[in-house]
Amino acid sequence: MSFIPGQPVSTVVQRIEIHKLRDGDNVILGFSIGGGIDQDPSQNPFSEDKTDKGIYVTRVSKGGPAEVAGLRMGDRIMQVNGWDMTMVTHDQARKKLTKKNEDVVRLLVTRKTLEDAVRQSMMQH
């Protein structure tokens, strides 16, 4: 997932639909994010390219809604409910994920294994 700043990123994505879990007043998705254009990308342990300022999933709670939906640690989130996540600050990303009136978030995520899988399957043909 290397990117050139200013150029559109094209990558293989997976659609993940997470249903938020409500617990009274608190609503959670069950994962944690890191990254953002205002963060230091060199400290991101998941990114291949250490200048990648995207939003990454740093942790997934076991058994939580995110894990159930198929989100994995190390995924990079490209879109949330249609909102772009490739060029956002950390806080903007968090806000898009934690909108109170939304019960479902539809993510487009990408990970290295996806690309590899697609490439493999393409090579086989």
Partner 1 sequence: MRSILHVSLSKTFRPNPGNKLEFSLCFLFFFQDSDIQKKIDYEIRMREGACKLLAACSQRDQALEASKSLLTCNARIMAYMSELQRMKEAQVMQRVARRSSDAGPMDDRSPCKGKVAISDLRIPLMWKDTEYFKNKGELHRCAVFCLLQLGGEIFDTDMVMVDRTLTDICFDNTIVFNEAGPGFELRVELYSCCSEEDYSAGSTPRKLASKLSSSLGRSAGKKMRAALEPGACSPTSNGGGATILLPVPSAPGPKYHLLAHTTLNVSHVQDSFRTHDLTITGNEECSYWLPLYGGVCCRLAAQPHCMTEQMMSGCLRVKLGGEPQGWTNVYGVLKGTNLFCYHQKEDKEANVEPVLTIGINKETRIRAAEKDPHSKAQNICITNQYGGEEVTHTLAADSREERQRWMEAFWQQFYDMSQWRQCCDNLMKIELPSPRKPAIVTPKQGSLYHEMGECVQTPFYTFTEAVAEFEALDQGCPTLLLAIDCPANVSPCFRQAWSPDASSSSGRFRPRTLSLDAKLSTLRGRGYSGFRCNCQPPTASSVSPRPAQTALSCSSSTSSSSSSEGSNSQESDLGFSRPSGARRSLRNLRAKLDPRNWLQSQV
Give the interface with partner 1 as residue ranges (CB under 8 A).
21, 23, 26, 28-36, 39-45, 50, 58-59, 61-64, 90-91, 93-94, 97-98
- Is the separation of the CB atoms in 55 and 35 below 8 Å? yes
Least Å from the CB of residue 91 to partner 1: 7
Cβ nearer to partner 1, comparing 34 with 111: 34
Least Å from the CB of residue 56 to partner 1: 9
Region class of 57: left (phi > 0), else alpha (psi between -120 and 50), else beta: beta
- Is the separation of the CB atoms in 108 and 124 below 8 Å? no
Least Å from the CB of residue 32 to partner 1: 5
- Is the separation of the CB atoms in 85 and 79 below 8 Å? yes
